[in-house]
Structure 1
Amino acid sequence: SVKVHPPGSAWGDPETLTWAPNALGEDREIQFDVDVRDAFGRADIQSVNLVLSTPNGASAVFDKEFDDDDLRLDNEGLVGNYTWTYDAGSMAPGVYPLALEIRDVQGHTVLYEHGGVEFVEHGINLGVPSNQPTTVLIAPGQTSTVEFLVTHIGASAASMEVRLDLARSLPSSWSDPVWDQPAGYTLNGGGDVVRPILSIEVGEDLTNAPSRLEIEARAYAENGDGQLVEVAIVDLTLDFDEVGVYAEPRVSVFEDVEHQRQIADSTRPDLYDETLSHYVDMSDAQEGVDFYIDVFNAGFDTDAFKLRVTELPESWLYRFYDNDTGQQLVEEGINSLTPSIGSFQQLTLRMTVFPPDAREAQDIGLVRVLVVSGNDADLRTEVAFTVHRTFGVLAEVISDSDAKVLGTVGPIAPGADAWFRFRITDAGEDDVETTWRIVPPNLLPRNDGIYTSWEYSITDDSGAAAPVVRLSGDEYADLRLDVSLRDQIEAGNHTIYVGIIEDGVDDDEARYFDMPVTVVVKEDVIAGRLLITLESQLTPFGPGESKELGFRVDNQNNIPLTVLVSLDEPSGWENGAVSVNSFQQAGSTLLVTVDAYSNEKFTVDLTAPTTVKNNDRAELTIIVEPYDDEVPYGLDFKQQTKFEFATTCTEVACLANELRDPEPSTIGLIAMLVAIVLYGTYRRGANKTIAAALPVKDVALPASDEATTEVQQDLDLPPAVTTEVDDDLELLDELSDL
């Protein structure tokens, strides 16, 4: 059997049996699919022919015999296809018979007749010109204009009338559609083309604007009775695209006029590295090196644009030209003015860059171009790329340790290793050999000081150190740079340079090249790397005393961190407050940003309770943790640091504090004193009792000294307690000393 399809169709797809004699381009390609099976198997089939005949069967349009390579075995049968392209206007209208002839090894012929392929007399194609966007631009209160392309794809001698209209109505606030020829358009024969133009005035409010424009084209032709009848109908749907009257320009930059090597694009900035070098050799200094800038007007109305170079390496020069006319752009102050660019049209500009002659001038730098709408200065776009001056020698990375973007390795951890293979090419004369000295990054002055502490080695393919290479014109040498990072290195991009300089020539005259390579260090945040240090002198707190204590938080991670600082005060010290400086209002918590491998100072205000005792201890806990309101850190990142403070109290009032909250030693002393008082009281009472029991005699009293002596001899009594007040004062003195 045989089926008729457009190219790329599968066997099970619906057939396409109607074709147009003057169809466009690929629409004149027909794919014939065949499937041949024999009851006796594949070996019994000798030949397979596909024949398309003229409508009257008098001759064949083609007779295709399939070769063995054209057919493949499939389930004991042969399957294959044949794609045929007919010339525009070569097929007269009518039905063309199609047959499949199979001949077996016995000489028998089996003929499979297909229903045939029809070429129509009348047919139209509806589209838009190739230089027009496939969307319809609309802006509030503006008139949108769309040009269509209607092509007669039927028979060459068949004329038609075509009328276009909206297949779906537009909002009532919009105007009625206006066609440039409301009565219709005439197509005189196959291949004839007309360009209808539709204008629509759009309303001011586009809140409920339709998403698409649907157009219907109907073709009419006279029948045998001279009546105009509909012979074809096609439709086309275009999306509406709401834009401003003026819009930000879309800008892209290329290294070549053929637009094969793109280096910047304002609509896709992430695809291009603006720091990647684009080389400008000093041999081209007089003529300059060209870069090509495409400016696309994405606005609804025609606009002209102003170009301004906002960044350029020192001493470099430039000029802008219209690439189509070759004319230099008109300059207006620091701006260069483009010609007017139509809506959704593009203008290619040529930017010629001239490197400086002075050797001390900047070799490498960013070129940043600002493109601004001439009608609305707020509508602007920036693109940037890097130029790199060379002096007859060039070095480029050809591979590196992570096989991603050449010349860039990472992200890798601090302390890790990376390597780059690079090729040095001599651009000098063929018959002159030059010795080039290789300067490692730690010895090249242009590298930042932090990179001099990294470890480097430069070796050749054998692994031997390569301090120099000897090359003639167009020769090259491949070397390897190994880099070992320090353990403490901030996260981010780190660009270092390897120097290649002509040996044996004064530095002022030597040719040279500085090759950049980039190491990307990944973020390395580890729990326990936030350290708290007390910077104030530790002195005891007195009752109710307030102090401002200075602390420092050190961030030993390789990225800046926002650190949350909070306090856990001693019991009774509930008024602690923390702040960065005296100008900031203190609070119970503090958020402070600490740079990588850096520190920030803060203060804590503490006031001791009035009830503190002498030589007591108070513990302050400071809690720090990295803070991120989007992706919180885990609990293991919370760190606590404890600080112990002494208290002092030497006033008489401290006795009450001690009695209210006595220490164990104080309790023991009080118990001992109470025992002493009780014992003294007991002995005093005993003495009085003994005295009362003695008999009273009337005797003559001797002199006072004699009487005293007799009593002391007769009675063995303890010394008399003379004054109770004195004992109490002694007790208070002892407590005060304690």
Structure 2
Amino acid sequence: MEELHQSIEESRHGSSDSMVSYDLYIAEQNSSAGGSGVITTHIPDSGGQQDESMVGGVEFKSVPLISNLTVIGDAGGGSVVPLFVYIRFSGQDQSTADLTFELMSGTTVVATDTATIDDPCQDGGILGSSCAYQYRPYEMDISSTLPDGGGNGFVVLSGKQITLRMTAETNCAGGGGVPGQGSDCDVRVAYGNVDNSNGAYTRMGVKANALANSKVKVHHSGGSWNDAEVLEWAPNHRSEHRTMQLSVDVRDSFGRDDIKEVKLVMNTPDDTAVVFEKTFSNSELKLDNEGLVAQHEWTYSAGRAPGEYGLRLEVRDLQDNLVVYSHEGVEFVEYAVFLQLAPSQGDVILIAPEKTSTVEFELEHIGADGVDMDVQLSLQRNPGSDWLIEFSEPGGYELSGGGALVRPTLTVTAPDDLSDAPTQFDIIGRAYADTNNDGTSEEVQVVTTSVSIEEVGVYAPPKMSVFEDEEHTMEIADSERSEAYDPDVSHFIDGEGAGQFYMEVLNSGFDFDTFRIRVDGPHTWTVRMYDQDTSSSLVEEGAYFMTNQVESHNFQSMIVELTPPLERGVDDIAKFAVSVLSEGNTSLRSNLSFTAHRTYGVFAQVTSDEFGLPLGHIGPFSSARSQPLVITIDITNAMDEGEPVSNWQIINPSELDVNLEYKNQVFGTWGFAVSDTDSSAVVNTISLGPGDVESIRLSTTPGNKVKAGNHTIYLRILEIGEEELPRYFDLPLEFEIEADMPDDLEIIQISTNLPMQPGDKRTMDFKVFNGNNVDLDLLLEIDGPDGWEVDLDSIAYMGVDAFGEKTFSVIVIAPKDSVRDGDIGLIIITAQPLHKETAYGPSYTKTKKVEVNIECSGSGDCLLQELISPRQSTVVAGGGFILLIIFAAFLRGKRSAKIYEDFVDEVDLEEDREIESTEFEEIADEEWEEDIELLD
């Protein structure tokens, strides 16, 4: 309820006297309103009559209102809503009908009336009578009241509808047997353009101000609706500050169709004359959220008399009601000054240690004519006692009448130590005038302005820019914004002569300075420089061009003339590096670069590819990409008007020698296809007249084993029919391939792996193959078993080109006294790729294992080592050998087999087991001795 009460309060616009009378008509049904008919301010004087039965109830609705609407009645001092209705009551004599009329705001009933009618009519009958609609007046009493004692009335909130409900209850008498009379009766209401109504319609009368939410606002030119209004204006301000922007927003609760005319009127302070009157046309009024908005700019002439000027918004609706919204007024002030930096000054003051700087201002009297003022200027904050600061007129500045102008100067001498220097100076101006004509002055206005402070050296690096055009609007290079321009983008010049570019060199230091300019490019090109203003050549000192003396924060404009070589096909594309040095301090310099590209009447440019800007740089893309790269290219005939149509051949990049000769012919494996942009049909030739442009599509399928980074491929456009010196153009296309992770790395052994003798020294050869598309720096490490000496025959760091290989050697020295026959020495070689100085992860390290066999042929060291440190197999073999020696000794003692058998029998008895007796054949002593020798 509180929000509703607030909405009602906001919708009240003045008293009821500010309201106007509205006839609300019942017209043919409107689909946006609903109900059987629509409540509208439009007179339904076209179309036909509509009617509905009131028995059971019938409703008529307005469209949803676009703003809150306060309504009172049009009679009875605002408490009664007159209602005029065309009704037909048909039925038998003595029938009656009870009528109820209800007026609703939204769903709330706000006014009602009831009536009984007892005059039915009949169609036909004995006398052939007819039943016509009768014009009947009623009065609906408003039952609700406006808040705060505002009297009877109601508010229809924005988005809600006004509804009129008519209901009839009939009491039908018997027919009495009269021929042609039925037993039913009905009450019907007619609306719309009622037949034979003579300009009277079904309607009701209310008072309201449907335009109460309309407004006008005043701003400076370019202001927005929500900005604070500007209500004070200076009579003698500068022309650019004398334009008022008057914005109107007209809101009619019944909708924009209810608005007939919108007018703005400004009067003089005494209301005796109209300053201007503006009636908005339909084309100037724009629909905005169901309202109408418009703007009018009015520039007043200088010298306008001071005072408050009346401003009003007049809106007339379809029923010729005139609603006037009076603005609070616009005042032209008597006392006003304007303070700003002088146009030639800029908004920055340069300071340098122990140097003096000056700032010029403009102080102007913009108030009324014939009014004198004095203005005192000062700094709002003093930066310190070590600063020397003063204005050109310490006693102040006299301004005699509107339009008077003076140019104060502020002189600033900075201290040696600028560590605490402020970032800006804030200047305050206090204006004084004799307002009472009594000889005493009082402060009438305070104005402020500021100037930023930039600390610079006595000399500073120059700032330079290069442009394509003489007016310096098409910048192509900037020493302070190198990231904004691609230095490799081609800038075309005519191959038949010299090309001209335009350069600015700005002195960003504190003092005067002269600059040395050096332009480095292909030696086949000729460079000359001229002063753009005088066309005189710049003085040359060795490799440098010398500028004139340039004042602080001023610049010199120059022409850079570039002449390509006479020989065609040589350095058609030339990149130039420009350096500018301060003569005052040669350590201060700036650099930029740009590319010139000579043409012969035709040129081509990339207009789109999937990678966007910069155009002509395609990528980065993966080295494993198989999907074609699609590039759209425009080919332009740059010949003069009047030249004949010429035919041009598009050379497939795979057939151009300059591409095939590029670094091992890597582009020979790439696929190229040229087609048009519409049908994908293959395009080999095109015809172009002067100024014609033809678009083609180049589809490129990358090949394998191309090094990561940028690679340039050329597309050639060649003139057909000219055999000696055909015109041509080579379009460079730069492809950027992403770097692979260094996981394709292999260590391969070159030397044969032969056995080694103890103490041997051998050099083994290996190679590292880099299958990645990036050059790699490798850290090699080698490790061997204890006692072995293994080392690299070179430094441990090695660089291997992409898809390349590099050999290295390993020195291996086998131990002399710690190996045995058949030993294996395991040597481990690792190659670890480095990223700058940090190794990649361990998963990228590659390892090579090499087994080296030891072979001892006739070496006493091996036998001795075997005896000192026998292996298990040696121990077993040695034990058998000792048994044989003992057995031989027994035989040498010529002991008989019998004793041996007795010995065996004793053993058998001791062990309590039977052993099969074996007879040994006697062997001669000589044979045993030979067997022993073989064992040795």
Same fold (TM over 0.5): yes
Return closer, same or farther for 1:384/1:161 CA change in 2, 3 Å cut-off: same
Asked if structure 2 preserves the Cα contact closer than 8 Å seen for 1:120 and 1:154, the reply is yes
- Deviation at 1:618? 2.6
**2:310 matched to which residue of 1?**
97
Quick check: 248-257 or 133-142, which moved more?
133-142
> SS of the residue aligned with 2:843?
helix
**2:562 matched to which residue of 1?**
353
**1:613 matched to which residue of 2?**
820
Asked if structure 1 preserves the Cα contact closer than 8 Å seen for 2:769 and 2:804, the reply is yes
Is 1:182 the counterpart of 2:394? The answer is: yes
The CA distance in 1 between the partners of 2:865 and 2:323, in whole Å, is 123
The CA distance in 1 between the partners of 2:377 and 2:340, in whole Å, is 12
**2:846 matched to which residue of 1?**
639
**2:16 matched to which residue of 1?**
none
Is 1:595 the counterpart of 2:801? The answer is: yes
Asked if structure 2 preserves the Cα contact closer than 8 Å seen for 1:313 and 1:367, the reply is no
**2:672 matched to which residue of 1?**
456
Asked if structure 1 preserves the Cα contact closer than 8 Å seen for 2:832 and 2:839, the reply is no
Amino acid at match of 1:340: Q
Asked if structure 1 preserves the Cα contact closer than 8 Å seen for 2:788 and 2:814, the reply is no
Asked if structure 2 preserves the Cα contact closer than 8 Å seen for 1:501 and 1:510, the reply is no
Return closer, same or farther for 1:512/1:94 CA change in 2, 3 Å cut-off: same
Return closer, same or farther for 1:208/1:549 CA change in 2, 3 Å cut-off: farther
Instruction: List per-residue Cα deviations over 1:598-636 (Å, max 9, x = no partner).
Output: 234444455545523222223233333332269974443
User: 1:365-514 residue pairs with structure 2 within 5 A?
Assistant: 365-400=574-609, 402-414=611-623, 416=626, 417-420=628-631, 421-423=633-635, 425=637, 427=639, 430=642, 432=644, 434-447=646-659, 448-449=661-662, 450=665, 451-459=667-675, 466-469=683-686, 474=691, 477-506=694-723, 509-514=724-729
Q: 2:331 aligns with which of 84, 96, 118?
A: 118
Return closer, same or farther for 1:171/1:668 CA change in 2, 3 Å cut-off: farther
Is 1:555 the counterpart of 2:770? The answer is: yes
> SS of the residue aligned with 2:877?
helix
Asked if structure 2 preserves the Cα contact closer than 8 Å seen for 1:399 and 1:422, the reply is no
Quick check: 392-401 or 236-245, which moved more?
392-401
Quick check: 322-331 or 414-423, which moved more?
414-423
The CA distance in 2 between the partners of 1:574 and 1:99, in whole Å, is 108
Amino acid at match of 1:20: A
Larger radius of gyration: 2
> SS of the residue aligned with 1:627?
strand
Amino acid at match of 1:49: K
> SS of the residue aligned with 2:388?
coil
Aligned length: 694
Asked if structure 2 preserves the Cα contact closer than 8 Å seen for 1:312 and 1:368, the reply is no
Q: 1:623 aligns with which of 821, 824, 830?
A: 830
Gaps in structure 2 of 5+ consecutive residues: 1-214, 903-918
The CA distance in 2 between the partners of 1:727 and 1:187, in whole Å, is 143
Asked if structure 2 preserves the Cα contact closer than 8 Å seen for 1:48 and 1:103, the reply is yes
Asked if structure 2 preserves the Cα contact closer than 8 Å seen for 1:401 and 1:419, the reply is yes
- Deviation at 1:75? 7.2
Return closer, same or farther for 1:180/1:454 CA change in 2, 3 Å cut-off: same
Return closer, same or farther for 1:689/1:466 CA change in 2, 3 Å cut-off: closer
Q: 1:221 aligns with which of 429, 433, 458?
A: 433
Instruction: List per-residue Cα deviations over 1:430-477 (Å, max 9, x = no partner).
Output: 464545444433443444332445443445566565555455555565
The CA distance in 2 between the partners of 1:514 and 1:468, in whole Å, is 14
Amino acid at match of 1:324: D
**1:234 matched to which residue of 2?**
447
> SS of the residue aligned with 2:866?
helix
Instruction: List per-residue Cα deviations over 1:394-434 (Å, max 9, x = no partner).
Output: 34444446454333322233365434434252727846454
- Deviation at 1:562? 2.7
**1:146 matched to which residue of 2?**
359
**1:338 matched to which residue of 2?**
547
- Percent identity reads 35
Instruction: List per-residue Cα deviations over 1:287-346 (Å, max 9, x = no partner).
Output: x332111111111112121222222451x3333222122322233343322222211112
Asked if structure 2 preserves the Cα contact closer than 8 Å seen for 1:562 and 1:594, the reply is yes
**1:167 matched to which residue of 2?**
380
Is 1:56 the counterpart of 2:262? The answer is: no
> SS of the residue aligned with 1:339?
coil
Q: 2:417 aligns with which of 205, 227, 243?
A: 205
Quick check: 62-71 or 50-59, which moved more?
62-71
Gaps in structure 1 of 5+ consecutive residues: 585-589, 695-715
Amino acid at match of 2:827: L
Instruction: List per-residue Cα deviations over 1:261-305 (Å, max 9, x = no partner).
Output: 22211112222222322222244x2xx332111111111112121
Return closer, same or farther for 1:184/1:647 CA change in 2, 3 Å cut-off: farther
**1:326 matched to which residue of 2?**
535
User: 1:691-730 residue pairs with structure 2 within 5 A?
Assistant: none
Q: 1:292 aligns with which of 502, 509, 514?
A: 502
**1:194 matched to which residue of 2?**
406
Asked if structure 2 preserves the Cα contact closer than 8 Å seen for 1:158 and 1:190, the reply is yes
> SS of the residue aligned with 1:240?
strand
The CA distance in 1 between the partners of 2:303 and 2:351, in whole Å, is 42
Asked if structure 1 preserves the Cα contact closer than 8 Å seen for 2:581 and 2:587, the reply is yes
Return closer, same or farther for 1:730/1:110 CA change in 2, 3 Å cut-off: same
Asked if structure 2 preserves the Cα contact closer than 8 Å seen for 1:426 and 1:476, the reply is no
Amino acid at match of 2:730: M
Is 1:250 the counterpart of 2:463? The answer is: yes
The CA distance in 2 between the partners of 1:71 and 1:433, in whole Å, is 52
- Deviation at 1:487? 0.4
- Deviation at 1:177? 0.4
The CA distance in 2 between the partners of 1:722 and 1:468, in whole Å, is 108
Instruction: List per-residue Cα deviations over 1:568-590 (Å, max 9, x = no partner).
Output: x24426865447x3xx4xxxxx4
Q: CA RMSD in A?
A: 3.8
The CA distance in 2 between the partners of 1:73 and 1:274, in whole Å, is 50
> SS of the residue aligned with 2:585?
coil
Return closer, same or farther for 1:171/1:646 CA change in 2, 3 Å cut-off: farther
Return closer, same or farther for 1:430/1:50 CA change in 2, 3 Å cut-off: closer
Amino acid at match of 1:566: E
Asked if structure 1 preserves the Cα contact closer than 8 Å seen for 2:649 and 2:684, the reply is yes
Quick check: 144-153 or 335-344, which moved more?
144-153
- Deviation at 1:516? 2.0
Asked if structure 2 preserves the Cα contact closer than 8 Å seen for 1:161 and 1:220, the reply is yes
Amino acid at match of 1:202: A
Asked if structure 1 preserves the Cα contact closer than 8 Å seen for 2:313 and 2:325, the reply is yes
Return closer, same or farther for 1:142/1:645 CA change in 2, 3 Å cut-off: farther
Return closer, same or farther for 1:42/1:176 CA change in 2, 3 Å cut-off: same
Amino acid at match of 1:367: F
Asked if structure 2 preserves the Cα contact closer than 8 Å seen for 1:7 and 1:83, the reply is no
Asked if structure 1 preserves the Cα contact closer than 8 Å seen for 2:641 and 2:690, the reply is yes
Quick check: 227-236 or 453-462, which moved more?
453-462
Instruction: List per-residue Cα deviations over 1:1-60 (Å, max 9, x = no partner).
Output: 444344555555443322223444654343444455556665555444333322222223
- Deviation at 1:196? 2.2
Asked if structure 2 preserves the Cα contact closer than 8 Å seen for 1:72 and 1:80, the reply is yes
Asked if structure 2 preserves the Cα contact closer than 8 Å seen for 1:18 and 1:119, the reply is yes
Amino acid at match of 2:743: G
TM-score scaled by length of structure 1: 0.82
The CA distance in 2 between the partners of 1:483 and 1:25, in whole Å, is 61
- Deviation at 1:99? 2.7
**1:565 matched to which residue of 2?**
780
> SS of the residue aligned with 1:670?
helix
Amino acid at match of 1:612: V
Quick check: 42-51 or 685-694, which moved more?
685-694
